[in-house]
Structure 1
Amino acid sequence: MKSIKILAVAALCTLAFSCNKKEETASSAENLDSAQAKTVVDALSQHETPEESEMLKEAQSKPLTTIAFSETDHNFGDIKKGEKVEHVYEVTNTGTNPLIISNVKPGCGCTVPDYTKEPILPGKKGKITLHFDSTNFDGSVNKIADVFLNVEKAPVRLTFSANILP
């Protein structure tokens, strides 16, 4: 039985990395028991690509600061298949050094980021907008975007969900 669980985790991880859709594979883990699903999600979140590693190094090479997000999760609710929606996440620089958002990396090509490119001074706000195209989806979806910035615990993960109706 243990070998079957290991094979299931390996198959899900292989699928995740070949499709570059980590968050969708993690949600596929719903068919596994909670311990198995946690193993899959942990394995996926610990895997860092060389590109992500470089983005993290770049972000943390700047003097670190602290931040506060207005929210890190958004629910679009019901939307029609093919509808394009967007949500703005506000980030406030609560530290003493300028906040620099060096990159925003969505989990898949259905999500396109736009974000404040210039340094955000202490006490000021910046924006990260995630644009989502629902054309290729049905039913419940959960998406992610990793934000690389000069804070201690980077990247920061933004998420959103929607229920895609026909």
Structure 2
Amino acid sequence: MKSIKILAVAALCTLAFSCNKKEETSSVKSPDSAQASTVVDALSQESANPDDAALVKEAQSKPLTTIAFSETDHNFGDIKKGEKVEHIYEVTNTGTNPLIISNVKPGCGCTVPDFTKEPILPGKKGKITLHFDSTNFDGAVNKVADVFVNVEKAPVRLTFSANILP
């Protein structure tokens, strides 16, 4: 079964690269691992959850812009089991169209997002706050949240880590 999934992903990768004539000349001859893994990640996410594909389509239906984050990864360090922590990721609209955060989807229920709901004008800042409840964890944890915004390469992934002490 695993080999069938691998073959399906390989076939879809080939199809994805061959459908875009511009990329065909630069990517097919010598695809770099970043491009290949991006395609595989995108295909895996779409097949894993069709809702994500709809969220990407919705976000990219708005005029595209560009975004900059203060950081995309945060380490809480050592925290006690049961402690609730949060971190604010600052976003800046570096493009010429309003930046719209359509949704922030955490990897599991232990993380709750809060984010700027209004369009962020060019040159202005917004924020995404991730609230993490460490109650059900021990030791090292790494968590993710996908940010669906109107940028070319959506979703943008935010990550955080912590070491949960007893």
- Report the CA distance between 1:45 and its aligned residue: 7.0
**Matched residues in 2 for 1:43 and 1:133: separation?**
27
Pairing 1:101-112 to 2, within 5 Å after superposition:
101-112=101-112
- Could you say which residue in structure 2 is the equivalent of 1:47? 45
Pairing 1:35-74 to 2, within 5 Å after superposition:
46-48=44-46, 49-74=49-74
- Report the CA distance between 1:47 and its aligned residue: 2.7
- Give the secondary-structure state (helix, strand or coil) at the position aligned to 1:95: coil
Greater Rg by CA: 2
Number of corresponding residues: 131
**Matched residues in 2 for 1:62 and 1:149: separation?**
9
- Report the CA distance between 1:43 and its aligned residue: 6.3
Cα pair distance change 1:45/1:71, threshold 3 Å = farther
- Report the CA distance between 1:50 and its aligned residue: 1.5
Deviations 1:127-152 (A, max 9, x none): 00000000000000000000000000
Give the counterpart letter for 1:47 in structure 2.
Answer: Q
Kept in 1: contact 2:45–2:52 (CA 8 A): no
- Could you say which residue in structure 2 is the equivalent of 1:124? 124
- Could you say which residue in structure 2 is the equivalent of 1:30? none
**Matched residues in 1 for 2:65 and 2:41: separation?**
29
- Report the CA distance between 1:46 and its aligned residue: 2.2
> Unpaired segments of 5 or more residues in structure 2?
7-36
- Could you say which residue in structure 1 is the equivalent of 2:27? none
- Could you say which residue in structure 1 is the equivalent of 2:24? none
Cα pair distance change 1:44/1:53, threshold 3 Å = closer
1:133 equivalent in alignment to 2:133: yes
User: For the aligned residues, what is the CA RMSD?
Assistant: 2.1
Deviations 1:107-132 (A, max 9, x none): 00000000000000000000000000
- TM-score normalised over the length of structure 1: 0.74
- Report the CA distance between 1:153 and its aligned residue: 0.4
- TM-score normalised over the length of structure 2: 0.74
Cα pair distance change 1:99/1:44, threshold 3 Å = closer
**Matched residues in 2 for 1:67 and 1:57: separation?**
18
Pairing 1:1-166 to 2, within 5 Å after superposition:
6=2, 46-48=44-46, 49-166=49-166
4+ runs deviating over 3 angstroms:
42-45
Deviations 1:55-83 (A, max 9, x none): 11110000000011000000000000000
Cα pair distance change 1:129/1:119, threshold 3 Å = same
Larger mean Cα displacement after TM superposition, 50-59 or 151-160 = 50-59
